[in-house]
């Protein structure tokens, strides 16, 4: 585009940005680029800072090392989970619980063998509790999650520290 209309380079960039913003508003997805681990944590904090009482679910998608646990640490910070808690991925225990302004229930389903294992640890009970559920590897629960209201967050590695973060909203029709 720059070669065809060299004098319009700045305007084309602006038009492109405006069109992307409009497309984001029309779709139920939002895109951001995180350029560092700190930016990923800050995004997580921003997501949870203003949550009020009730039940909130964040489903985190992404490959190993994409930043799902880092985002969860930011969510914990926004919920005022005390610093003395070491927020880490509950890979072997499936769930960690943290007390903050709202309770945080952090699920890591990477090693989940089947949905029965999830039911054994009381997953359905957690759905009834007020607080914030963060679910890493939600695709492991299959159809079970699709019937819930949740915010889906996909993290994609786009550089050594850079991540593309896509946020979508799942509101099942009744």
Domain ranges of the chain: 29-170
Q: In this predicted structure, which of 14-28, 41-55, 137-151 has the lowest mean pLDDT?
A: 14-28
Average pLDDT over residues 51-80: 93
Confidence tier at 11 by pLDDT (50, 70, 90): low
Strands, E assignment, 8-162? 29-34, 55-61, 95-98, 104-108, 131-136, 150-157
φ/ψ of 77, rounded to 5, equals -65, -40
Q: Out of 2.60.40.1120, 3.40.1280.10, 3.40.50.300, 2.40.10.340, select the CATH number for domain 29-170.
A: 3.40.50.300
Size of the chain, expressed as the number of residues it contains: 174
Question: What is the distance, to the nearest Å, from the Cα of residue 45 to the centroid of all Cα atoms in its chain?
Answer: 11
Q: Tell me how many degrees the CA angle 161-167-172 measures, rounded to the nearest 5.
A: 150
Residues 42-61 pLDDT 10s:
999 999 998 988 889 999 99
pLDDT > 90 fraction of the chain, expressed in percent and rounded: 51
Q: What is the pLDDT of residue 38?
A: 96
Average pLDDT over residues 83-89: 82
The candidate with the shortest Cα–Cα distance to 59, out of 144, 157, 161, is 144
């Amino acid at each position: 585009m720059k070669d065809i209309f060299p004098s319009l380079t700045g305007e084309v960039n602006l038009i492109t940005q405006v069109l992307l913003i409009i497309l984001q508003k029309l779709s139920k997805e939002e895109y951001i680029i995180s350029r560092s681990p700190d930016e990923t944590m800050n995004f997580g904090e921003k997501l949870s800072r203003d949550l009020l009482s009730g039940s909130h679910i964040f489903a985190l998608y992404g490959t190993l090392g994409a930043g799902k646990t880092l985002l969860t640490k930011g969510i914990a910070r926004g919920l005022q989970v005390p610093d003395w808690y070491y927020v880490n991925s509950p890979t072997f225990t499936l769930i960690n619980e943290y007390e903050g302004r709202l309770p945080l229930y952090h699920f890591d389903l990477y090693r989940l063998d089947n949905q029965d294992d999830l039911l054994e640890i009381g997953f359905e009970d957690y759905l009834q509790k007020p607080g914030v559920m963060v679910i890493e590897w939600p695709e492991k629960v299959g159809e079970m999650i699709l019937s819930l209201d949740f915010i889906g967050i996909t993290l994609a590695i786009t550089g050594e520290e850079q991540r593309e973060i896509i946020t979508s909203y799942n509101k099942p029709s009744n």
